[in-house]
Amino acid sequence: MKDYYRRIREVPILQVAEALGIAVRKDKKALCPFHGDKDPSLAFKGNRFHCFGCMEKGSPIDLVMKIKDLGLEEASEWIGSRFRIFPPDKGSPARSRSRKTPASPLPEKKIALPGAITAASPPGKEVLPAYFDVYEKTIALLPSSGAIAYLEGRGIPRDTAAGYMIRIVEDPGKVLAGLLERFSLELLLSSGVVRKKKDGSPTLQWGEGWIIFPFIGRDGLEAGQIVFLQGRNPLPDGIPKYMELAGGFPRPLYWTAKGMGAPEDGELYLCEGIIDALSAEEMGSPAVAVLGTSALSDTIIRTLLPYRLKILADKDPAGGKFAKEASGRIKEMGGWASVVHLPDGVKDGNEFLLQKIDRKGGRK
């Protein structure tokens, strides 16, 4: 654990500052976010920050803790998830094969479009930057252990699940109370994390037991921010199977770390769901998930055009339809797409991973 915090503290502070949205000048100075700064007095040196105006100072972790109002663990996780550093495996069976992930930052692929939040925002309810803090705090208020166990059951190792900040709702009322301490009800409602019940009282969008997946943005103002949340019903036949933010936001792409790092004109697996994308990544393939054909807007296709797309769809009628429609539209727009044919008896990407683990004699 000591080693984990050391590695987090060693992430270049200028990159952490940038991920926090601090504009650092060439002389490594910036306007201090902690006091009304007009002449840049925040300096970076020796991987620490120091303000000559208000005397705030500290490590990259301190910077995140102060700006995002997070605890040590949450702030470390905030950095870790963006720079692919995961906490050590605490005695899980997967320990022997837990990977040493290099502390390489996510690639910069910032496309600033004037007047637009991102290159990948299809029309629909607009995601405002003010919501990013709400999503982040929501994730910070949710426990992870139950979600990690759920994903381990699907062959996704503990460190991957932790790195993607996947959570479970255990006490919706407590989360709502925690959010209300920090944000106005109006903001919570418009962000889609909270909705109104029939009697008009506010409630968290997801009930007890739901697994929550945060989506990390890649481009423009969204880069490195949590831009969307999807809940998954933990019951195998639970209805609905998925529940997203309330209010009908457009569904963004779910980028895996390898997917974000995939070179343009490189291979990218286009999956039908998050767990399939995480499974593909676990098998070594860069992947991205699109949440259904309806989410595959022209804007999203344009984001994907630079890649050689391999469509990994479920082997059922709906999956077949998705693969056909997606590859058709991608090719129509001048892109490259092929459909992955899963072996007989394998119904989706996650099952493929599970069978692979089985063949290796299991992970445990």
**What are phi and psi for residue 175, nearest 5 degrees?**
-65, -45
Part of the chain binding Zn ion (CB under 5 A), chosen from 35-43, 284-292, 320-328, 353-361: 35-43
Give the closest residue to 202 by CA, choosing from 246, 268, 249, 256: 246
Part of the chain binding Zn ion (CB under 5 A), chosen from 30-38, 127-135, 217-225, 349-357: 30-38
Give the closest residue to 245 by CA, choosing from 296, 174, 187, 178: 187
Return the residue of 4, 21, 28, 34 that touches Zn ion, per CB under 5 A. Answer: 34
Shortest Cβ distance from residue 274 to Zn ion (Å)?
40
53 near Zn ion (CB under 5 A): yes
Task: Report how far residue 114's alpha carbon sits from residue 97's, in angstroms, rounded to the nearest whole number.
Answer: 45
For residue 326, the surrounding DSSP H or E stretch is helix 317-332
Cβ(103)–Cβ(7) below 8 Å: yes
Kindly state the DSSP code that residue 5 receives in the 8-state scheme: H
Cβ(76)–Cβ(5) below 8 Å: yes
Part of the chain binding Zn ion (CB under 5 A), chosen from 12-20, 33-41, 264-272, 342-350: 33-41
Cβ(134)–Cβ(191) below 8 Å: yes
Return the residue of 29, 35, 110, 195 that touches Zn ion, per CB under 5 A. Answer: 35
32 near Zn ion (CB under 5 A): yes
Nearer to Zn ion by Cβ, of 6 and 38: the residue is 38
Shortest Cβ distance from residue 59 to Zn ion (Å)?
16
33 near Zn ion (CB under 5 A): no
Nearer to Zn ion by Cβ, of 51 and 287: the residue is 51
Part of the chain binding Zn ion (CB under 5 A), chosen from 16-24, 34-42, 272-280, 332-340: 34-42
Return the residue of 11, 20, 51, 140 that touches Zn ion, per CB under 5 A. Answer: 51
Instruction: Classify residue 46 as exposed, middle or buried by CB count within 10 Å of its CB (0-12, 13-18, 19+).
Output: exposed
Residues forming the site for Zn ion (CB under 5 A): 32, 34-35, 51, 53-54
